[in-house]
Amino acid sequence: MSGVRKHSSLEESRIQGTFSFPCTMYQALSSLPDADPVFFVKPHWHNAFELLHFEEGSYDLHINTDSYEVREEAFCFVESEKLHSVRCSRPYTEHALVFDPEILASSSMDESTRSLIDPLIQKRLTFPAVITRENPCFAELKREFRNLLRIFNTHGERNGDQLFLHPPGPQLRVKAGILTILAAVFEEGLLHDALQTEDPRVTSLKQLMIYIQTHYTEKIYLHDLAAIMHMNEQYFCRFFNRITNRTPVAYINDIRIRKAALLLSDPLSEITVLDAAEKCGFTNSGHFISEFRKRTGMAPNAYRLSKRQNHPEEST
């Protein structure tokens, strides 16, 4: 699904890129024929650093307990271990560079290593969440990011929703581009010392999302979710809605529908719509069809047919 960036879990354990060069590029383009009506990256976190380029569209970005409405072209920085999610309706054009800062490590102890690279690797730097055209370094960021995208498109190999690099030349050019972007942000005075402890509410929210991910096939009670967050139900609902821009019920149904969509889009599966609904926690088929249509723009059977028509070679 071109509008959904797929994650195997909320805390990503998969390698971004390759083992030897953990750096990858993702893209979400509503212009692609199989693009979903809504681009949605579910709340998750990982050890990698992420640079997002929102080229076209109106995005709702959430990082830990902060929310950002991005209504113009912008670059967004997501630091390691930060809980984050993105949502945007058509049209959208978005790219994400995700990399392990260790690829920039150097045995040299020059000032750039001490002041920038080592603190980045050690998670001791805070980056600006959003940089728009008004910022003096925006033009340089855009020029360098476009060059990075060109390198991945020209020399990269695709693995699912990732583009990754093997040749040493393009890898070196990517590292140079990342360093240029970091230098531009640094020279504008936009980097600050990071807080050393995570907000306990964010820690509890991560535990809550893991609970939902583990139990989405079952009946989930609001009072159990509130207890994980150490909040009463009313305050929990307001807090959750502020952080995710979703009610707890809508968030749970988002996960259930995404799981059902994966089942229905499998070209080797003959699962029925009713079985997919039951496997994903829905007890009422009418409610499932309504929620599925709301999120994908089509009924479950039509969605399955569209995915198999786009990939006919996999279903024969």
- What pLDDT does 43 receive? 87
Distance between CA atoms of residues 82 and 66, nearest Å = 11
pLDDT at 4 (0 to 100): 45
Distance CA 185, CA 138 (A): 9
Report all structural domains of the chain as residue ranges with CATH numbers, in order of start.
Answer: 23-193 (2.60.120.280), 200-314 (1.10.10.60)
CA distance 81 to 20: 21
Q: What is the dihedral of CA 291, 237, 9, 49, to 10 degrees?
A: 120
Q: Average pLDDT across each block of 10 residues of the chain; the chain has 316 residues. List them in order.
A: 48 70 94 85 90 96 93 96 91 96 89 92 92 97 98 92 92 97 96 81 90 94 94 94 88 93 88 94 95 91 82 49
- What per-residue confidence (pLDDT) applies to 310? 63
260 CB-contact burial (10 Å; exposed 0-12 / middle 13-18 / buried 19+): buried
For residues 164 and 157, the answer to whether their CB atoms sit within 8 Å is yes
CB-neighbour burial class of residue 62 (10 A; exposed 0-12, middle 13-18, buried 19+): buried
Give the end-to-end CA distance of the chain in Å, rounded to a whole number. 20
Give the 3-state secondary structure of the chain. Answer: CCCECCCCCCECCCCCCCCCCCEEEEEEECCCCCCCCEEEEEEEECCCEEEEEEEECCEEEEECCEEEEECCCEEEEECCCCCEEEEEECCCEEEEEEECHHHHCCCCCCHHHHHHHHHHHCCCEECCCEEECCCCCHHHHHHHHHHHHHHHHHHCEEECCEEECCCHHHHHHHHHHHHHHHHHHHHCCCCEECCCCCCHHHHHHHHHHHHHHHHCCCCCCHHHHHHHCCCCHHHHHHHHHHHHCCCHHHHHHHHHHHHHHHHHHCCCCCCCHHHHHHHCCCCCHHHHHHHHHHHHCCCHHHHHHHHHHHCHHHCC
Helical packing angle, 200-215 and 248-265, nearest 10°: 40
Sign of CA dihedral 183, 185, 188, 193: negative
Q: What per-residue confidence (pLDDT) applies to 309?
A: 73
Q: What is the pLDDT of residue 6?
A: 47
pLDDT at residue number 307:
79
